[in-house]
Amino acid sequence: MKISKEIQKFLLQDAMERFLRYVKIWTTSDIKSASFPSTENQLELGKLLSKELKDLELEDILHDKFGYVYANLPPSEGFEKVKPIGLIAHLDTSQAVSGKDVKPVIHENYDGSEILFSQNEELSLNIADSPQLSEYIGLDIITSQGDTLLGADNKAGIAEIMAASAAWKKFPELNHGPITICFTPDEEIGRGTRKIKKNLLPKNCYTLDGSEMGQLEIECFDAWGASIKFKGLNVHPGYAKNLMINAIHIASRFLSELPEAESPEHTEERVGFYHLMNLEGNEEKATATLILRDFDLKNNQNRMKYLETLKTLYELRYPGLKIELNFLHQYHNMLTFLEKEEKAIKLAKKAIDLAGLEVKIHSIRGGTDGTKLSEKGIPTPNIFAGGLLFHSRKEYIPTLALQKAAEVIIYLAEQWTNE
């Protein structure tokens, strides 16, 4: 059935109210934490969502000690034999920018001009920053006040799933099969599926964690982490000639050898990169953390060989220097697992089309929980959540995207009833 204007209005209002509520809850994850979830604040959002799911009369609600929230929506009458699907979004926000005390701002009827931020006079958002803004003229845009990120990644996805659940309760004419909802912690630090209860998930899932309206993502980076430890020798600088091996200075030189053209700020589309995330230390020892990203595993293997070559050269150049180089494969390109999932992809495309949007097949310059789930045998394409400039103080989302993503969820569930 075609979603009525009444339902559209409900979805917009409900998703907006939820989104504005959720972003105010501080859920930044912490890659340095050894606990799970990495921050207790994520549990607070999980508690709220568990209560809201109960209010919506979902069943089998579980908020476990690791921070995961699970819930089941029983099928519409007569659709008990429909294959179940899962809807997934993550609770945490990136630690790249503060997510504490987010105060969302609604810029009504955006006119195409520069958007200013009340808590950061040096910051502005314009069409040069994000060309998609030109498509949102006349719409309402939500940003932070400029001193934090917004949190649309991924609280928009959570709000959209919850709004769809509320619509299924309020409008029984919206048919659907069995649906499992799962909200995960620590996705932003690559741990989103580490302790997930795979047995509670159906065989086909979707993450709501993409960017602009209409996007459907079935491919992502092949991802590696690299840790480089430099061990030097400190000597009083007044007497250091031919003796000191300055670890952090040498580390800086080593890292300057990385090709600038292969950095995130100089690449786009299908071009991979080296990304230095952290460098710390002193004369005696220093540690650098990098990530290597590409859609082609062979390109990443070449980057690792280059780092190994640099290691050999620098140990020869600086006698006594020791470099320890370790690589960790973080996730595979999900296309490896999704290219045969024609039905799941076809139905997602149809749902986006029914919502009145252009289907935009997009390769993720990153990863999602769906990447790991697909690797674990649960094919999980990624549907847009609607936000842009994620992990940034300039992050924003048009309110229409909250409505449209919720519409896509409803159409998607309906499409599965026809299979």
Q: Is 208 helix (H, G, I), strand (E, B) or coil?
A: strand
- Asked about 217 being catalytic, the answer comes back as no
User: Long-range contacts made by residues 127-136, C-beta under 8 angstroms, separation at least 24?
Assistant: 129/389, 129/394, 130/388, 130/389, 130/394, 130/396, 132/212, 132/388, 133/396, 136/110, 136/398, 136/400
| Measured distance CA(121)–CA(116) in Å, rounded | 7
104: its two tokens: 């969302």
Query: Is-cis flag, bond preceding 154, omega within 30?
Result: yes
Give 120's contacts (C-beta < 8 A, 6+ positions apart).
145, 146, 147, 393
What is the amino acid identity at position 330?
A: Q
Only one residue has tokens 């990153």, namely 366
What is the amino acid identity at position 366?
A: G
- Asked about 92 being catalytic, the answer comes back as yes
DSSP assignment letter at 283: S
Q: Is 24 helix (H, G, I), strand (E, B) or coil?
A: coil
Q: Is there a contact between 347 and 416 (Cβ–Cβ < 8 Å)?
A: yes
Query: Is-cis flag, bond preceding 178, omega within 30?
Result: no
Q: Which of 241, 194, 211, 227 is nearest to 404 (CA)?
A: 211
DSSP H/E element including 121: strand 120-125
| Measured distance CA(334)–CA(339) in Å, rounded | 8
* Helix (H) and strand (E) counts in the chain: 9, 17
327: its two tokens: 């690589």
- Of 14, 52, 186, 187, the active-site residue reads 187
- Of 14, 92, 153, 283, the active-site residue reads 92
Question: Which residues carry out catalysis?
Answer: 92, 187
